[in-house]
Structures are given as structure tokens and as C-alpha cells.
Structure 1
């Protein structure tokens, strides 16, 4: 899926770590807004791990110590960024558990609706 054969294994790592960080931002955002150790918190923490394991198997990335450390740091970075985003927005607006909904409500994205004249 993300494998770039011409540039070698390094490009697979860059894309995979980027994917891990981006995937974990919404889950970190959600995790910050729910009660700790609840069912939702457990899902927000552990579901991305299953997705990352699927991609590791699909991309053929090994399970060595160095890979676990790199992917673990990308995982925690994404969770931290999402939680930080939630705490920042919580000061200025009412936040929900859904990052995409809050982005739309904060008017970061301008949505045009075509009206027929």
C-alpha cells in the first residue's frame, strides 16, 4: 500500500511512522475527553494498536526491538498531540469526543453548499 520500491525500506518507515502519528491524533483527542480506565478510554488507547499491528504485518515490518521503539514513540506522540489539541480547544470552546466534528464547528474548514438559483 505505502511501499515505495525505488527508494527502499527507509521510505516505508517514513510513511508508516507518519501513518501511526496521524492515526493516533483523533484517538488521543477522544481519550482526553473521557473518564480514565472506562470502556471508551480502553478503546481509544488499544484500537490503534490493532490497526498498527495489521499494517506492520501487511507492510512486512519486523518485530525487532528497534522497530517497537520507533513505532511506540510515534504512537505516544500521536496520542499526546491529540490530547494536547483537546486541552487547547477546551479552553476556548465546548469540545466533543470527535475531532472531525470539532474541526468543522471551529470553522477551520469552510464548507460550501451549492444553492440552486
Structure 2
């Protein structure tokens, strides 16, 4: 069960790490260099954690899904907060 807890922890890190980058992405022009950096900057950190913990590559799509979810939630939080202010 410890192994699955590690996978869940990496998923949580991927999600939380992408929240601020999703927020920042809303300030950039779509498909610009800054936009691409906001999307790709957290990937090496998640990859390092996966390699350091010897997690199988089979879980990479799961980490990818949580990263995308973090980006989406981060951008929606920014939009929701800016509309209410």
C-alpha cells in the first residue's frame, strides 16, 4: 500500500504545483513562449520526484492528468476571483 500512497502523493504534488502556473498562464497570450513556459515548467519537478522515488513509468499518464487538472483549476480560480472583485 505504501507504493500507491507514493503515487497519490506525486499526483497531489503535480496538481498543487500546477495551480500557480495555471493562474500565471491566464496573463499570457495563447501559444506564446511565456504560455509554453507556464505549461512546461512544472514537468521537470514532477519527473524528478517520479525518478527519485523509483515510480513506474506506467503512472506518467496519471501524473499528466493531475497536472492538467491543476492548470485548469488554477486558471478558473483566477477568473473566479477576478470576477468577484
Q: Does TM-score exceed 0.5, indicating one fold?
A: yes
Residue 79 of structure 1 corresponds to 71
Alpha-carbon distance in structure 1 between the residues aligned to 2:35 and 2:78: 14
- The answer on 1:15 being equivalent to 2:9 is yes
RMSD value, Cα? 1.2
In the TM superposition, residue 69 of structure 1 has moved relative to its aligned partner by 2.0
Quick one: distance in 2 between partners of 1:68 and 1:58? 14
What is the CA distance between 1:73 and its match in structure 2? 1.1
Gaps of 5+ in 2: none
Within the alignment, does 1:49 sit opposite 2:43 as a pair? yes
1:110 counterpart residue number: none
Q: Distance in 2 between matches of 1:26 and 1:41?
A: 13
In structure 2, the residue matched to 1:61 is 55
> Which structure is larger by alpha-carbon Rg, 1 or 2?
1
Figure out how many residues of one structure are paired with residues of the other and give that number: 85
Map of 2:23 onto structure 1: 29
TM-score, normalisation: structure 2? 0.90
Which one has the bigger helix percentage? 2
1:71 Cα deviation after fit: 0.8
Q: Which has the higher contact order (CA 8 A, sep 6+)?
A: 2
Q: For 1:34 and 1:90, how far apart are their aligned partners in 2?
A: 16
